[in-house]
Chains A and B, each alone.
Chain A
Amino acid sequence: MEDSNKKEQSGSTHKIGIYLWIWGLLFVLSFFSYLVDWYQFQGMLRWSLILFFMFLKAGLIMAFFMHLYWERYALVNVLLWPMTAIVCFICLMIAEGKYTLFSRLFYFFVGG
């Protein structure tokens, strides 16, 4: 417990302002992503806006609410590099999904 007592004194608490700012930003971003649906944007505009707001919100929560911005570099790396495996998986499944759809349509309507 010695360590964590020192930790508090070493200025690890942050000003309340930064939390309130992030909080406010999250509200505004959520509101914007709701507006994407409200105005019924379609196509690429819709998807890019959804992804943009999503990543911004996720980044803010992880960086400031979960303190990853102030966290040590080793932990940040341990947490973020495995995400590349998820990205690979997503890419694989996009290709697989297209192939499944193609073969379904092909066999349903053309009949082999």
Chain B
Amino acid sequence: MSDPKIEGFELEKGFKGMAQDTGSDQTMFKGVHWGKAMMWIFLLSDTFVFSCFLIAYMKGRASTPEEWPNPSEVFALDAFGVPVPLLLIALMTFVLITSSGTMALAVKYGYERNRKMCGYLILATALGGLTFVGMQAYEWSKLIHEGVRPWENPFGAAQFGSFFFMITGFHGTHVSIGVIFLFIYCYKVFAGHYDEGKRGWFTKMKGDYVEVEILGLYWHFVDLVWVFIFAFFYLW
């Protein structure tokens, strides 16, 4: 969000402001909540982890002389007896985008100190995330039944399974952790911890709705990663 004003300090626009922020032997990102800055740094490092997985997948797929399994056939799902390509993946994408939207609104209502709306929207986000994880579990068990293993699969190049389980598994872990925290924050919002400024765990810092935004950053990042996985793994 936009910057809080600090008395006697006027941040200049553009490159000069950046130089003032990063140089001048002072605290970086003056006035930005430390939790938010740290969440961004964490997400940056997580970006690198996911990039390494996706780049490994690209390299593995580009360097195998065997035929790569056709994702729109492998991930097809029978709907009323007709195989629809990528049906489950499309539904998962829509569920995740929906939950991302409810999270964005939860952050907005949090800053407006609308406790009930914020809490219900976080609950909706958590349920969306739970649905996503459930669909992913179904997808995994379906593929395992069809004989997909990290070392072999009946559709083509053997590397397919290991990349699939590694990448979607790592993303699913992120979603699961996110869902756990969404439920915890849902409770904290409904209990009014951020209105009273009640302290969280392991910290002397008083609770504030900025924590909802920090959680939101994480959740949008999970959605962001899914955009890339959807493009590179399922559509390519």
| Residues in A lying within 8 Å of B, measured CB to CB | 1, 3-4, 6-8, 10-14, 16, 19-20, 22-23, 26-27, 30, 33-34, 36-38, 40, 46-47, 50-51, 53-54, 57-58, 61-62, 64-67, 70-75, 77-79, 82-83, 86, 89-90, 93-94, 96-98, 100-101, 104-105, 108
Residues of B within 8 A of A1 (CB): 197, 206, 208
Q: How far is the CA of A34 from the CA of B93 in the complex (A)?
A: 10
Residues of B within 8 A of A34 (CB): 86, 90, 93
Q: How far is the CA of A82 from the CA of B51 in the complex (A)?
A: 12
Give 20 A-B pairs besides A4-B208, A74-B28, A104-B63 with Cβ atoms closer than 8 angstroms: A3-B31, A7-B2, A12-B2, A14-B108, A37-B72, A37-B86, A37-B235, A46-B235, A62-B220, A66-B220, A70-B2, A72-B3, A72-B11, A72-B29, A74-B21, A93-B55, A93-B58, A94-B58, A96-B59, A100-B63
A23–B97 touching, CB < 8 Å: yes
Is the contact region of chain B dominated by helix, strand, or loop, or is it mixed? helix
Question: How many of chain B's residues have a CB under 8 angstroms from any CB in A?
Answer: 67
Interface centre among A6, A57, A96 (most CB of B within 10 A): A57
Which of B40, B61, B65, B209 is in CB contact (< 8 Å) with A108? B65
Q: How far is the CA of A38 from the CA of B210 in the complex (A)?
A: 41
Residues of A within 8 A of B104 (CB): 19, 22-23, 64-65
Question: What does the 1/0 interface line of B9-31 toward A look like (CB < 8 Å)?
Answer: 00101110110011000001101
- With contacts A13-B111, A30-B94, A86-B48 taken as known, whether A98 is within 8 angstroms of B55 at the C-beta atoms is no
B105–A26 touching, CB < 8 Å: no
Q: Decide if B8 is an interface residue (CB 8 Å cutoff).
A: no
A65–B4 touching, CB < 8 Å: no
Residues of A within 8 A of B63 (CB): 96-98, 100-101, 104
B1–A67 touching, CB < 8 Å: yes
